[in-house]
Structure 1
Amino acid sequence: MNLNTGDKVIKNTILLLAMIISFSGCVNKEMLKEQITQAIKDNPQIVLNAMRENSLDMLEIVENGIDAREKIKREAQFEAEINNPYKPSLNPVRGALGSVAAPVTIVEYTDFLCPYCRKGADVVRKLVAEHPEKYRLIFRNLPMHDDSRQLAAVFEALALIDMKKAFEFHDLAFEKQKDLYNDKKGIVLGQILDQVDVDYKKLQEKLNSAEVQNYLKDDEKEAREFGLDATPTFIINGVSVRGYMPADKFEHLVDLILEKSVAANTDDGEICEDCLNQQ
């Protein structure tokens, strides 16, 4: 949209006043600022027209502002969690991999039908497989749909029977995730269970047990208490990491959490800032 003659005059006047401000003394600057402010208040259309003419630039400014605000928010939350980490329940009979004595505990809240959960699961599984002495992985369910809740129940039932088979199911379910999306008749699920070689009678007994249902409810309750509402989310030594990220970035973040956590838990010794006057 082109500026009309009146708008151009006002715009040029404002620009002239702005130039004068930069070469004026303090008193004049304040007076001219007031004049510019008043001119904009009296003619708000000039600002709207300028924004329309530069809409892409304005959008970029807004997006950069939002990104900056989100970054500040994430950094503040990160520091808060370093100093006051989450404390998820660590039930020893639940699904877990790696050493109990590992310095890094990752609690993974996931959904078997979430594409980003599949990618995130691949990252953390490889980390535990390659560095079992460093990482301990604890599996938690945060299903967003009924179908993924059914898969979560199968995993928990298998974990009560055989932990190794439970994680074989875990890997295959993510591997065949696209096929499971439309598996209304349970054909793909049956193929996965056959491949894992489960005892269907035992599986059905565990699926019908209150224990499995309580595990699912406990996971969802814990996630709500922590304010987790999206998958995947990882709690690394009490610090939340939301969303998938590549392995190198994930490992870098783990190292940063370890470094920050050590610093936060190290008390300063006694120091003397004015030693001569204190003797």
Structure 2
Amino acid sequence: MNRRTIVAIVAAVAVIGFGIAGYSYTNRPKEAPVAPPQESSTLVRPHSPVLGPADARVTIVEFFDPSCEACRAFYPIVKEIMARYPQDVRVVLRYAPFHDGSDEAVRILETARMQNLFVPVLEALLTQQSEWAPHDGPQLDKAWAAAGVAGLDVAKAKEERLAPHIMATLNLDVADGKSVGVSGTPTFFVNGKPLPNFGTDELKKLVDDEVAAVR
């Protein structure tokens, strides 16, 4: 089964998952700040957003692109893994903006992080991805609108979107991705190990094996 077929299957499942899990962002309370990791390496940097316990012994590093259909498709799978191992697994997100307009979507996410709204805005962008990132070109006004519905202070975020630390995060993530051979998204590493083959079962198995090894 090739990568395109896998992505198509996962995407179909993801559409159902997003539909079942849909909820109103407008009334969602603000989240706690996304914790940064403490160590620094080519895969994990101090600025990287972390989902899950910061001291988890198994780390999934995902290089992702907010415009990427496969990244959207894998998001429910990653959440499922985290739910299965709530104390053992954390996810470190790195940006790999390959698509046109994805660098602006990254800036939206980073301004959301400054407002402690990273996860709601991330999920809003993924849910509305087909609206703001169609195949014929990005419509970033719709991405900003989706972020606003998720609670983002859009006016403030647009003032901060070109802040030096946001640009530095974006540039370093792109450089690190190149140095570890990231050529497509999503690209996963589990405790530093790449997937032997691309697929949901391969990701789940590698995580299962690493959790078993540390317990």
- Could you tell me whether the CA contact under 8 Å between 2:59 and 2:90 is conserved in 1? yes
- Could you tell me whether the CA contact under 8 Å between 1:160 and 1:206 is conserved in 2? no
Map of 1:99 onto structure 2: 53
Map of 2:26 onto structure 1: none
Deviates more, 1:215-224 or 1:179-188: 179-188
Matches within 5 A, 1:252-267: 252-257=205-210
Map of 2:129 onto structure 1: 177
Shift of 1:195: 1.4
- Could you tell me whether the CA contact under 8 Å between 1:180 and 1:189 is conserved in 2? yes
Shift of 1:255: 2.6
**Percent identity among equivalent residues?**
23
Q: Which amino acid aligns with 1:223?
A: G
What value does the CA root-mean-square deviation take over the aligned residues?
Answer: 2.4
SS at match of 1:106: strand
Higher RCO (CA-CA < 8 Å; seq separation 6+): 2
Shift of 1:185: 4.9
Map of 1:90 onto structure 2: 45
Map of 1:25 onto structure 2: none
Map of 2:107 onto structure 1: 153
Matches within 5 A, 1:38-57: none
Task: Pick closer, same or farther for the CA change 1:175–1:244 going to 2, 3 Å.
Answer: farther
Map of 1:38 onto structure 2: none
- Could you tell me whether the CA contact under 8 Å between 2:50 and 2:90 is conserved in 1? yes
Q: Which amino acid aligns with 2:120?
A: E
Task: Pick closer, same or farther for the CA change 1:255–1:127 going to 2, 3 Å.
Answer: closer
- Could you tell me whether the CA contact under 8 Å between 1:155 and 1:169 is conserved in 2? yes
Q: 1 or 2, which has the higher helix percentage? A: 1
SS at match of 1:94: coil
TM-score for the superposition, normalised by structure 2? 0.70
TM-score for the superposition, normalised by structure 1? 0.55
Structure 2 distance, partners of 1:255, 1:131, is: 9
SS at match of 2:208: helix
Question: Which ranges of structure 1 fall in alignment gaps of 5 or more residues?
Answer: 1-85, 263-279
Shift of 1:197: 1.5
- What is the total number of aligned residue pairs between the two structures? 172
Task: Pick closer, same or farther for the CA change 1:110–1:161 going to 2, 3 Å.
Answer: same
Q: Which amino acid aligns with 1:174?
A: L
| Alignment counterpart, residue 215 of structure 1, candidates 169, 193, 201 | 169
- Could you tell me whether the CA contact under 8 Å between 1:142 and 1:220 is conserved in 2? yes
SS at match of 2:195: strand
Which structure 1 residue ranges, 4+ long, deviate > 4 Å from structure 2? Answer: none
- Could you tell me whether the CA contact under 8 Å between 1:98 and 1:128 is conserved in 2? yes
- Could you tell me whether the CA contact under 8 Å between 1:232 and 1:244 is conserved in 2? no
Shift of 1:200: 2.4
Map of 1:225 onto structure 2: 179
Q: Which amino acid aligns with 2:94?
A: R
| Alignment counterpart, residue 166 of structure 1, candidates 118, 131, 134 | 118
- Could you tell me whether the CA contact under 8 Å between 1:112 and 1:173 is conserved in 2? yes
Shift of 1:94: 3.2
Shift of 1:155: 0.6
Question: Which ranges of structure 2 fall in alignment gaps of 5 or more residues?
Answer: 1-40
Shift of 1:243: 7.3
Task: Pick closer, same or farther for the CA change 1:157–1:135 going to 2, 3 Å.
Answer: same
Kindly provide the CA deviation profile for residues 111-148 of structure 1, in whole angstroms up to 9, marking residues without a partner as x: 11111111122211232244320111111110112311
SS at match of 1:218: helix
Shift of 1:216: 0.5
